[in-house]
Every structure is written in structure tokens, then in C-alpha cells.
Amino acid sequence: MTHAEIHLVVPGRLDQRTGGYIYDRRIAEGLRALGRPVRVHSLAGVFPGPDADAEQALEAALAGLPDGSTVVIDGLALGGLPGPADRHHQRLTLLGLVHHPLCEETGLSPERAGELAVLERSALRACRGLVATSSHTADRLREWLRPAPPIRVVTPGIAVTQPVRPPTGLAATPLLLCVGTLVPRKGQDLLLQALARMHDRSWHCILAGSEARDPLFAGRVRAEMARLGLDDRVEIRGECTEQELGQLYRRADVFVLPSWHEGYGMAFIEAMAHSLPVVATRAGAIPSTVPASAGLLVTPGDVDALAGSLRRVLDDPGLHATLARGAGEHVRGLPSWAEVSRQFAAAVMALGAP
């Protein structure tokens, strides 16, 4: 059977090392493996906009497609730019791929959040349907779009369906690993404050994630490290390759990420695939991503609770072992990327039907 080409529109390069781009890239690869031709359109400009270059790039990409084309647009490329979607939605089958609403990004002023909410509502309502990467995100979209286009949930997959390694005991100097771009939403500044309450314990912490997306916040994180006297115990690695991250996961004893919000949280899945106990927050989709058997979740922003949970995992080898086993057991029930790609293909067909 010959399938029509699917056009995937993304902001910037597809090879970027964030959860959203990894999802988009895996889906494109998976659809091609299923015999579904995919053409990726990488847009220039600053996203989410409004930005003249970004809007021109999106307009050119959509204008160049023949009538009836199926176009999946990543929410970061779509949400701040409703104009092109509105101009082309009647002749193209536009589907929005939403990782989390743009207006819920941490650190936005009320005015900016309100502006993005208005723009994103307009852009998403121009779509024939939406694919959300978690049930939490789908529920949020239904709440604030009203009426929302039809929505299908396709959660991320996992590269391996068995734990990468068996649970191991704590090292003499436990390694705490935090994987996430250095932006306010990921809460690395809160993690530093929690770690400062643990000077009496043996540990080392690595922050792995790009500093380029929000240099101002990254600079504040480095300044906070110095102010709290953590320069010799906390290391910022920057953006890592897949191989480098794999090595860090294999070395680590505990995974910690105190996000203010997550649309899903693919780093948590990777951590659990390496049988790592998780310490995180009850923010966004995290409670549905990290089961109680695999991690300790605290209220977002509660530094004392975050420090307390880290102490519990480091001080109690039995708890560490129990959570490590729970993490490994959880990943056995997760879908592979091949399965997720089949779900995505089915969602595109269902949402794209006239």
C-alpha cells in the first residue's frame, strides 16, 4: 500500500538534544520504518515568536505544499504563529503536535504568558486535530481551548523495554544526575539550594543540559553554585551526546530533576531504564510518568522537601534498592518507539480523515 507523504514541521534543526526534538526525530524515523514517507521541514527564526523570520519560514513551508497535504507542526513552531496556520488550514490537513502549552513555560511574565495563550489558542484551533504527548497535556488543552479540536494522546516510547542494568548499590560518593536544559522550568537553581542543605553528606552532582537556550538563567545557576560554595561538588556538563548521556546514566546512583512543569519528561524514563531511583516533583505529567514504586515526588518549589527526599534515598540503602527495582520493573511495561510510531501513524490517519 502506498501512503501519502507526511510533512513534519519543526523549529530549527531536528537533531537538537531536548525531549521534544528527540520525540519528533524518533517519530520521523519510526514512521519511515513503517513505510510512511516523511519530509521534515526545519524552520529558521526565533520560536515561539512572534518573530518575522519565523513566521515567514512557516508561511513559506506551508505555501509550498500542494492542496490536501498532511502537515504535522510541532507546537513550538506553531503556537506563537497563528497567521500561517489560519491562512492555509482550509487547503491543508494541519495537525498540531503539542508537548506542553507554551504559555505554561516557567519564568514568563504574566503579560507574555497571556500573549502566548491568545496566540496558541488561535493557532491550535486552526488545526484539524492535535496530538498530545501525555494525557496531562491533552487534559490541559481541552480545558483552555474549549472547544478543542479532536485530540489523540501518543506518549513517548523507550529505546529498550528491559532495564539497561540491574539495580546497584550506592557508591561511596553517590553521583546525583540531573538531565535537563538549563532553563527556569527545570529548576536547577532549586536543586542547588537543596544540595546546599546536604554539605554533611558525601555526594557529587552533575547537571547535564544545554546552557545556550537561556544564557541568563544558566549564568544565575553558575553564580548560585559559587555563592553556595558548591563549585567543587556540582559540575555542569552542558549538552551531551546520546553516548555521553548513556555513560552518565550508567555511572549515576540517583536521578533528580525538580521541574516546575513537564509535559511528559523523557529524561525520567531514561533514568528508570537505568534502574535509577528518581527524586522529582509532582508537576505536570511527572506523577503519571514516575510511579511511586520508582521515585519520591515533592511539591514544586519546596526546597526543604527536595533536600529531605534526597537524604532519604542516600541514607537508606534499602529504600534506594526498592526504588531502583521499581524503576526497572516500570520500564518493562512501556511501549517501544516502534509501537509508539504505529500509534502516531494511526492518530494521524484518524485526525486527518475528512
Range of the domain at 311: 175-331
- Residue 274 belongs to some domain of the structure: yes
Are 137 and 84 in a shared domain? yes
pTM of the model as a whole: 0.89
Mean pLDDT, range 66-83, rounded to an integer:
95
Q: At what angle do helices 303-315 and 317-331 cross, to 10 degrees?
A: 100
Are 268 and 344 in a shared domain? no
Taking only Cα atoms into account, the Rg of the chain, rounded to an integer number of angstroms, comes to 21
- Residue 117 belongs to some domain of the structure: yes
SS3 316: coil
Distance CA 198, CA 192 (A): 10
- Residue 164 belongs to some domain of the structure: no
Mean pLDDT, range 263-287, rounded to an integer:
94
Give the count of alpha carbons within 13 A of 55, CB side only.
Answer: 13
Are 187 and 293 in a shared domain? yes
- Residue 292 belongs to some domain of the structure: yes
User: What is the per-residue pLDDT for 1?
Assistant: 52
Domain count, the chain: 2
Cβ neighbour number for residue 195 with a 10 Å cutoff: 24
Are 151 and 233 in a shared domain? no
> Is a pLDDT exceeding 60 seen at residue 18?
yes
User: What is the per-residue pLDDT for 161?
Assistant: 55
> Is a pLDDT exceeding 90 seen at residue 324?
yes
Q: How confident is the model at residue 165 (pLDDT cuts 50, 70, 90)?
A: low
DSSP per residue over 153-196, as a string?
Answer: E----BS-SS-SS---PPPSSPEEEEES-SSGGG-HHHHHHHHH
* Number of continuous H segments (helices) and E segments (strands) in the chain: 14, 12
- Residue 168 belongs to some domain of the structure: no
How, if at all, do strands 93-98 and 38-43 pair?
A: unpaired
Q: What is the DSSP letter of 336?
A: B
SS3 124: helix
User: What is the per-residue pLDDT for 2?
Assistant: 60
Q: How confident is the model at residue 83 (pLDDT cuts 50, 70, 90)?
A: very high
CATH number of the domain where residue 236 is located: 3.40.50.2000
Considering only residues 17 and 334, tell me which one the structure prediction assigns the higher pLDDT.
334
Are 297 and 216 in a shared domain? yes
Are 318 and 340 in a shared domain? no
Mean pLDDT, range 264-278, rounded to an integer:
93
Q: What mean pLDDT value characterizes the chain?
A: 93
Are 135 and 213 in a shared domain? no
Are 25 and 94 in a shared domain? yes
| Secondary structure, 3-state, 184-237 | HHHCHHHHHHHHHCCCCCCCEEEEECCCCCCHHHHHHHHHHHHHCCCCCCEEEE
Are 303 and 341 in a shared domain? no
- Residue 134 belongs to some domain of the structure: yes
Are 130 and 226 in a shared domain? no
SS3 238: strand
Distance CA 220, CA 197 (A): 19
Cell of 196: 546546599
Q: pLDDT tens-digit profile of 228-241?
A: 999 999 999 998 98
CA distances from 113 to 75, 90, 119, 137 (A): 15, 28, 10, 17
Cell of 330: 516500570
- Residue 90 belongs to some domain of the structure: yes
User: What is the per-residue pLDDT for 160?
Assistant: 67
Cell of 76: 513550538
User: What is the per-residue pLDDT for 35?
Assistant: 94
Give the dihedral sign, CA 31/33/36/37. Answer: positive
Are 191 and 298 in a shared domain? yes
- Residue 170 belongs to some domain of the structure: no
Considering only residues 104 and 208, tell me which one the structure prediction assigns the higher pLDDT.
208
User: What is the per-residue pLDDT for 59?
Assistant: 97
Mean pLDDT, range 210-222, rounded to an integer:
95
Are 327 and 309 in a shared domain? yes
> Is a pLDDT exceeding 90 seen at residue 45?
yes
Cell of 15: 537533531
